[in-house]
Structure 1
Amino acid sequence: MADFTQHDLSGSTFQQVDLTGARFEHVDLSGARMEGVAFNGAVLHGVDLIDVDIKADIERLTINGVDVGPLITAELDRRHPGRVLMRPTDADGFRTAWDTVEELWTGTVDTARALDPALLHESVDGEWSFIETLRHLAFATDAWVRRALLGDPSPWHPLDLPWDQMPDTPGVPRDRSVRPTLNEALALREDRMATVRAYVDGLTDEDLDRKTEPVEGPGWPPPVSFPVREPLLIVLNEEWEHRLYAERDLATLTP
């Protein structure tokens, strides 16, 4: 195994690197930027967490003996009252959640329409542009609803945009250079949102625990069987989080 004792690696880039089980002692990570990094099962003792910004999926995170996950969830729910609706447990709850998604995104799109169209292709702090966000949400719907739930092995639209770290997959588009207009991106987006609407409108409580049929062929997700509720919860989470990111970045772009 590699040994980096007393090495100066400041400014280095680690991309698609496996550090599972690695040991860090007296390491300076000040100013480091980490995206798409897994800390599952990590142990951090004697660390300084000062002026640190963490955006993460958090479960069973213990800091100084306190499980902070429930505290963070409660505070985010307090700040964003609609957030709790994104964790429905029955069919009516999923319909209410999608009602909320549609209503909130209508306001966000109205904000975007008021901006110079060129700004909708601008990245803020390295994040997706507004147009790219719409394209990614179309991909999420295609992956988790049209493929995983409806069984279409190749539901992709040329404007679909997977997450950046997804390996190139035959048949799955990933064109970061194309610059569709807002109306073009919204046409795809509205079609995919209508697909979700039709699905949840026909949903029953009994459906939620029914297992999907694995979908063979290249694409995402892999050929695995899911309880119906799982892909739907993933879509709700994608919709909720990416709208918050979009609102944040639109506020930065607003003159």
Structure 2
Amino acid sequence: MTEFREQDLTGARFERVSLRGATFTKVYLNKADMHAVDLTGARLHGVLFNESRMRGVELIDVEISGVLHNVVVNGVDIAPLVDAELNRRMPERAKMRPDDGDGFREAWAILERLWEGTVARARTFPEAALHRGVDDEWSFIQTLRHLNFASAAWVDRMILGNPSPWHRLDLPWDEAPGWDGIPWDREARPSLDEVLTVRHERQATVRRVMESLTDEQLASEVTRTEPGWPQEEGVPFKECLRIVLNEEWEHRLYAERDLTALEKEN
């Protein structure tokens, strides 16, 4: 098996080449041209398709999960259609992009209630099952660890100013570049209760922020220049909270989906 590591193949040309079963990790295909390419059965995770153009493609039995914005299919922007249908199926979803303090408080209360039910469902599974990923996705416990990371990053660090709010079990996203001083142990196997202890602390922190929100805060911006992540300037205060709401909403759906898959396996 040929391996290409840490190589610059900019401008390379592949013609009549078979790459069946090949694995691409952290590969840059920016502005690549692909003609008569067969991607049948391909699995793509954490892939950017920004400003991409596809002509003469066949999308049959294709499943797409991700962020959609200005996605034009056969002349129709499908992003608003998908958004409207998801809101129809799950009316509370529309409340996950609030603008005022009451809206943020309501959204967080909804999420805590929904997650309480999801955790109760997870407790009906053997602990070993909660460490099992479905279809190469995170396990239930890894999902909770990632949400702990997200709230630490966007609330404890960006909003409250703690430059290093991390717990050893926090889990960044798989494609993250990695940073000094930020834990990242994907293979750790803590108990559900151990992870929930951290989660309850993080949820309480977010709740306190939500309870004390003011219009002045929501109109402000936050900046963090200390080493670590996020390291950004001029981020809208409310956008930090919206990121946490979105993470909580989407990952609960993934968790419920995977718990259902585990039930079917058993």
TM-score, normalization: structure 1?
A: 0.97
1:235 aligns with 2:240: no
Give how far 1:56 is off: 1.3
Looking at structure 1, the residues matched to 76 and 157 of structure 2 have their Cα atoms a distance apart, in angstroms, of 40
Looking at structure 2, the residues matched to 9 and 124 of structure 1 have their Cα atoms a distance apart, in angstroms, of 25
- The one of 33, 38, 61 equivalent to 1:28 is 38
Looking at structure 1, the residues matched to 93 and 156 of structure 2 have their Cα atoms a distance apart, in angstroms, of 24
1:249 aligns with 2:258: yes
- The one of 117, 122, 127 equivalent to 1:107 is 117
Letter in 1 for 2:193: N
- Per-residue CA deviations over 1:68-98 (Å, capped at 9, x if unaligned) read 0100000011111110010111111000000
Letter in 1 for 2:98: P
- The one of 121, 146, 149 equivalent to 2:159 is 149
- Residues 216 and 223 in structure 1, CA contact (< 8 A), matched pair in contact too: no
- Per-residue CA deviations over 1:149-180 (Å, capped at 9, x if unaligned) read 11111110001000011112100001122211
- Percent identity of paired positions between Structure 1 and Structure 2: 54
Letter in 1 for 2:251: H
- The one of 209, 212, 231 equivalent to 1:222 is 231
Give how far 1:24 is off: 0.5
Looking at structure 2, the residues matched to 215 and 152 of structure 1 have their Cα atoms a distance apart, in angstroms, of 12
- The one of 21, 24, 28 equivalent to 1:14 is 24
Partner of 1:125: 135
1:183 aligns with 2:193: yes
| Unaligned runs of at least 5 residues, structure 2 | 1-10
Question: Which 10-residue stretch deviates more, 176-185 or 135-144?
Answer: 176-185
Looking at structure 2, the residues matched to 177 and 49 of structure 1 have their Cα atoms a distance apart, in angstroms, of 35
- Residues 152 and 215 in structure 1, CA contact (< 8 A), matched pair in contact too: no
Looking at structure 2, the residues matched to 116 and 21 of structure 1 have their Cα atoms a distance apart, in angstroms, of 47
Looking at structure 2, the residues matched to 224 and 10 of structure 1 have their Cα atoms a distance apart, in angstroms, of 43
Looking at structure 2, the residues matched to 149 and 250 of structure 1 have their Cα atoms a distance apart, in angstroms, of 33
- Residues 91 and 205 in structure 1, CA contact (< 8 A), matched pair in contact too: yes
Looking at structure 2, the residues matched to 24 and 77 of structure 1 have their Cα atoms a distance apart, in angstroms, of 35
Give how far 1:225 is off: 2.4
- Residues 148 and 215 in structure 1, CA contact (< 8 A), matched pair in contact too: no
* Number of residues of Structure 1 aligned to a counterpart in Structure 2: 254
| Unaligned runs of at least 5 residues, structure 1 | none
- The one of 95, 120, 134 equivalent to 1:85 is 95
1:54 aligns with 2:64: yes
- The one of 200, 203, 214 equivalent to 2:210 is 200
Give how far 1:206 is off: 2.4
Partner of 2:176: 166
TM-score, normalization: structure 2?
A: 0.93
Letter in 2 for 1:119: A
- Residues 224 and 230 in structure 2, CA contact (< 8 A), matched pair in contact too: no
What's the secondary structure of 2:42's corresponding residue?
Answer: coil
Looking at structure 1, the residues matched to 153 and 90 of structure 2 have their Cα atoms a distance apart, in angstroms, of 27
Partner of 1:42: 52
- Residues 161 and 174 in structure 1, CA contact (< 8 A), matched pair in contact too: yes
Looking at structure 2, the residues matched to 191 and 85 of structure 1 have their Cα atoms a distance apart, in angstroms, of 24
- Residues 77 and 83 in structure 1, CA contact (< 8 A), matched pair in contact too: yes
Letter in 2 for 1:242: H
